Chains A and B, each alone.
Chain A
Amino acid sequence: MSYVAQKCGVQLQPPSIVLIYEDRSKNNVRKRIMPIRNFSKFSDCSRAAEQLKNNPRHKTYLEGVSLEQLKRLHHLLRCHLQGQTLSQSLKQVEQKEIIDPEEDLNKLNDEELGQRKRIMDELFEKNRKRKDDPDFIYNVEVEFPQDKELEACEWDTETDDEF
């Protein structure tokens, strides 16, 4: 393939995916701006990413860009359209809110469960303190008193007398 992707990012205005790639046949580096049309704060990011990846005009350029990354970039655009700040958006995309907090993972098969866990593992690994970290402490105790006046957890409100 004569187009080698180097970097892929977003441009918020107008919403576009930006690709920096090397054109091997001409031996130069170029920038390609791919506008994302008909994309709103309600759009399905996975579908939009697939459409872009399969778009006949763009697909040869995007071969070296993973679908996952395109999904993430669409998420960023969507967060922006929802009025979030860039840092909020980045945080959300990092956590890949593809994990649906209402989904009961115990009802999934091994493969589906494994896929969800891989997503959650990313944050786990990022926040993980390892035994060989210089600041590792074996016993980390932090008190979070439950007796003082606390805000009730919103998960309780609807079904208060369930337990």
Chain B
Amino acid sequence: MERFLVDGFKPQQLSTFALTLYKYTATVDGKTILVDFWDTAGQERFQSMHASYYHKAHACIMVFDVQRKVTYKNLSNWYKELREFRPQIPCIVVANKIDADVKATQKSFNFPRKLNLPLYFVSAADGTNVVKLFSDAIKLAVAYKRNSEDFMDEVLKELENFELETKEEDSPAEETSQGEPVCLSPGNG
């Protein structure tokens, strides 16, 4: 996260939620958007917080450590949990620490392949593919949000028509949410 933001980062620590929040302004298709990155903790004692991690997320980045098998094996549990809360959001898998083991980049990994999830080979240390990862995640989040909003608009229109036909009342106002929370699942496994 910090490698992507380099110096423009002033994270907000929410220790009760084991969460670090980073705000970022991105430009996608000429439009300025506000992105919230949620860097979540992996330790098991924060299990009860997980529901709030996924809440309103528009994309998810799941990281494993190419030097530690257990982090890769744990991905399937994180993924199952993610899908309980957010069945549709884009999810990216990251193989991190390739600076420590370049050979990992020459291997094929079943987990992302079978689930058809994009896999990025990254080094947070030397910076390989960090910027690409986050820019792509933002694009995916924006596209997802746009599509789900289009969908919501249609649902609302249907509702309006329905209401006009039945009663003559104001259509409900939609709550506007700010930013694109991007949920970062931790690499400790």
Contact = CB atoms under 8 A, between A and B. Distances in A.
Number of chain B interface residues as a range: 35 or more
Contact of B109 (A95, A113, A139, A156): A156
Interface stretch (A7-15, A62-70, A125-133): A125-133
Interface in B125-162: 125-132
B131 A155 contact: no
A101 B128 contact: no
B7 A144 contact: no
A140 B107 contact: no
Which secondary structure characterizes the binding site on chain A? loop
A131 B6 contact: yes
Contact of B70 (A104, A124, A131, A137): A104
Interface in B13-46: 42-44
B106 A140 contact: no
Contact of B108 (A127, A140, A151, A160): A151
Contacts of B115: 163
A112 to B, nearest CB: 10
B110 A156 contact: yes
Contacts of B100: 95, 123, 127
Interface in B148-189: 186, 188-189
Given A127-B126, A141-B132, A151-B108, A146 B68 contact: no
B123 A127 contact: yes
Contacts of A107: 43-44
A105 interface: yes
Contact of B110 (A128, A131, A138, A152): A152
B121 interface: yes
Contact of B69 (A101, A108, A113, A151): A101
Q: What 6 A-B pairs have minimum CB-CB distances, sorted nearest first? A: A150-B108, A139-B131, A156-B110, A127-B125, A153-B107, A144-B105
Given A104-B70, A137-B127, 9 more contacts: A101-B69, A101-B70, A127-B100, A129-B127, A139-B132, A151-B106, A152-B108, A155-B72, A155-B109
Interface of B: 6-7, 42-44, 67-70, 72-74, 76, 99-100, 104-111, 113-115, 119, 121, 123-132, 186, 188-189
